[in-house]
Structure 1
Amino acid sequence: MAAKEKFETVYAIDPVAERRAMAERYGAKSLDPTSQDFKSTLKSLTNNRGPDAVLEVVGHPDALYTALELVRVTGVVSSCGVHIAPMKLVGDDLYAKGVKMCFGRCHVRGVFEESLGLLKRVTEATPHLIEEFVQKRIKIGDAEEYYKLFNEQKIGKVVFEF
């Protein structure tokens, strides 16, 4: 929903069918990265250029490499996924594509007012978004069980209550 405020067309790429369906309900066009032709499909949908910007939220090297492969020449890759594994980026590939890359969390103080306004607009337009997005509220003591379920793709977003 936030991306739809900034971009006319938003593509959601996710291996989990339920998450793709949710993205479609909120205005994104979804692609299954496990299909053999998803990269060529995305390229054809973007006039054979690739997307202007790619947001990588997984935090895995393969997701970052895919983002770099998909983004158009001189596009932007923003990665807020927490990378804990080593990454192997090839300088020639980055140089040839001229991609701008951003890593890290948002700087809350610098974007708080804008982000709060965006959250208000999005939730007013789609009042059930948060309830659908947050699938479970649990006590912190149950975190291990729910991380396991998340890793097995049996559950989506979980909020910890203290």
Structure 2
Amino acid sequence: MKAVCWMGKEKMQVHDVPDPKILNPRDAIVRITSTCICGSDLHLYDGFIPTMEQGDIMGHEFMGEIVEVGPGISKDKLKVGDRVVVPFTIACGNCQSCKDQLWSCCDNSNPNAWIAEKMMGYSPSGLFGYTHMLGGYSGGQAQYARVPYADVGPLKLPSDIPDEKVVFLSDIFPTGYMGAENCNIRPGDTVAVWGCGPVAQFAIRSCFMLGAGRVIAIDRIPERLAMARAAGAETLNFDTDNILDALHDMTGNRGPDACMDVVGLEASGHGMMYAYDRAKQMARIETDRPIVLRQAILACKKGGTVSVPGVYGGLVDKLPMGAFMNKALTMKTGQTHMMRYMGPLLERIQKGEIDPSFVISHKLPIDAAPEGYRMFRDKQDRCTKIVLKPWETSAAA
């Protein structure tokens, strides 16, 4: 089969690799019909997340058709021919974390938990296509994928909804929704959202779904800011606006009720602190750039909530912990507990409350993935979200 393989920093290649096989009784094999390039994949592309190995198959946003199931899966759970979307987190369904619906903290799905424990104390769940520290699982930017614990994760889909409306249930729609839910929104609240990429677009819309009165979206890319305004958000451009001063002015010097960092470890910015972070990150003294996280803590109202769906991988410097503690802030974070959200959000799509395909700017055949990564990372050609079609070729596209 064809698959997008990580071959080193800023080096993606499409290779012919062996088809996946059933390894455990609760496995299934999915023939992938749509898969996506995610913003968090760019952290791997840029070489900021450790424990990638040459030849690793990328991707964690995918859907398709079940073509084989292991002997441990009953037909009432999953069968050949079922159309499914696969969550990016892998969960066993039986451990205490899964029973508590903390699906992204599964105790059993990361076979390399000992690596994560060295950095994090305890391991989160395994993830598709996202380092050996988080399981070493082959990802879904391919024509087929092996899905462990397939009786827990995949969500069955009706046949009458196109891929483009449901493929984002694999990650970015639930991730944006959980980021908004973590803001503890009360009716009429003001939420500031840093970043207007794909996850943030769903976070903005989810804030309004949950009752926010105002959403203030912060970015510098014109088409992304325009997309946020189309959802009803007010916008700030961090290239031209002083974000902290502007948020003070827009909230009567009170601050937003909640602040959401949907950017994470590769945040952009200006000034001495940004230069400091870039220098330390390049020297591998600091792994992540917490420019946005610092601003969110400083901007948030007293007693407010800071939500962090943006990906962080390691260590950060110069966090304003004095502000965090003295303002009595709450921070809520985490990889998305996918199985909480996939079904309810599918219902919202079916009711016509949202059409997630709005975020798609490009559909590419799988062999165009290396160029797609460059285009998405460098924000070329007004790129907001790329869907890859594994069974199409460049000639067909």
TM over 0.5: yes
Query: Is 1:149 paired with 2:375?
Result: yes
Gaps of 5+ in 1: none
Shift of 1:19: 0.6
**Aligned pair in 2 of structure 1 residues 160, 65: CA closer, same or farther (>3 Å)?**
farther
TM-score normalised according to structure 1 size: 0.83
Query: What TM-score, normalized to structure 2?
Result: 0.37
Partner of 1:110: 340
1:159 Cα deviation from its structure 2 partner: 2.3
Which of residues 81, 84, 102 is equivalent to 2:310?
A: 81
Residues 82-129 of structure 1: CA deviation (Å, up to 9, x unaligned): 1125212343222112111112222112233433344445xx2565x6
Amino acid of the structure 2 residue aligned with 1:84: G
CA RMSD, Structure 1 to Structure 2 (Å) = 2.2
Alignment of 1:65-104 (within 5 A): 65-88=294-317, 89-104=319-334
With a CA cutoff of 8 Å and minimum separation of 6, indicate the structure with the bigger relative contact order: 2
CA gap of 1:147–1:98, structure 2 versus 1, over 3 A, is farther
Matched residues in 2 for 1:105 and 1:118: separation?
22
Higher Cα radius of gyration:
2
Give the match for residue 2 of structure 1: 206
1:14 to partner: Cα distance: 0.8
Give me the whole-angstrom Cα distance separating, in 1, the residues matched to 2:340 and 2:218: 29
Report the secondary structure of 2:295's partner residue. Answer: helix
| CA displacement at 1:147 relative to structure 2 | 2.2
- Give yes or no for contact 1:2–1:118 (8 Å, CA) kept in 2: no
Rounded Cα–Cα distance in structure 2 between residues aligned with 1:136 and 1:9: 30
Aligned letter for 1:29? E
2:338 partner amino acid: V
Change (3 A) 1:39 1:93: closer
1:56 aligns with 2:286: no
Alpha carbons of structure 1 residues 146 and 102: separation in structure 2 relative to 1, 3 Å: same
More helix by share: 1
Distance in 2 between the 1:141 and 1:86 partners? 35
For the residue of structure 1 that corresponds to 2:214, the secondary structure is coil
Aligned length: 158
* 1:28 matched residue in structure 2: 233
What one-letter code is carried by the residue in structure 2 that aligns with 1:161?
A: K
Unmatched segments (≥5 aa) in structure 2: 1-204, 266-289, 391-397
Measure the CA separation in 2 of the matches of 1:106 and 1:18.
26
Aligned-residue identity in percent: 28
